[in-house]
Amino acid sequence: MKAVGLAVVAALLLSACATTTSPTGRRQVIGGISQQQLDQLGAQAFAETKAKQTLNRDAKQNAYVQCVVNALVAQLPPQYHGVRWETAVFVEKEPNAFALPGGKVGVNTGIFSVAKNQDQLAAVIGHEIGHVISRHHEERLTRQQSTQLGLGILGALAGAAYGDTAASAVNQFGGMGAQGLILLPGSRTQESEADVVGQRLMAQAGFDPSQAVNLWQNMMAASGNRSPQWLSTHPDPANRIRELQRDTPALEPVYQQARRSGVVPRCG
């Protein structure tokens, strides 16, 4: 069983799903899960995280995060206007944040060590919300379901032809191939897309888009050594910074127009 076999089966399975266009014009395969199910999964994951992690009780920091979230979501497309966005700040030194379907945003206190002002915090949260409005969670779940089903079919075929050892080999090495050739590259694509969508969103919300560059420079300085790009679910930081720098000039008029229109966040 060669990698091309996995690719063919996965392609056939994915063809049964729906296709759509992302906010950047990229073709997406979705349909493996409903929006209601996605929202339920998001709410469940958020509740579990709050139960396991220590919640930050600093009222000022919580209000700061909520202010940035409110400013960003006010600029979302109409279909998100009815969503009540819930935020939580966790006592965790790792500089990280996330957003989930159903309007959930989590921020680690460690993010304040690299996001030095409201604009840089908006770059982080805008990126995470960008994943949600770009339907990345739905896209990845659809791909994962198709990949797992495809591996099961290939394993059964190999087992019928060559025995249990062959079936185990397909499941083991096919899974490694799927991870390297299907899941991880898609994730890097999504991360780059979330950068584009998030930087645009922060400009529309009156946050300085050039501060996204400063944020990732801070993140790069704080992270030190990291895995090679082809083994990671995230773009190389240097590449990420260059792409954000490339897009900043086109977003400057968007930012200035928002400010002239009175969209001037004052979060801290």
The crossing angle, in degrees rounded to 10, of helices 184-204 and 237-260 is 20
Say what the alpha-carbon torsion angle 233, 238, 242, 247 is, to the nearest 10 degrees.
40
Helix, strand or coil for residue 86? strand
Which of 86, 92, 94, 128 is flagged as catalytic? Answer: 128
Pairwise CA distance, residues 67 & 105, whole Å? 12
Q: How far apart are CA 27 and CA 24, in angstroms?
A: 9
Three-class SS state of 108: strand
167-179 core/surface letters (b: 16 or more CB in 10 A; e: else): beebbeebbebbe
Sheet arrangement for strand 86-90:
86-90, 104-108, 97-100
Q: Which uninterrupted H or E stretch holds 186? A: helix 184-204
- Mapping DSSP to helix (H, G, I), strand (E, B) and coil, where does residue 187 land? helix
Tell me the pairing of strands 104-108 and 86-90.
Answer: parallel
128 counts as catalytic: yes
Q: Which residues are catalytic?
A: 128
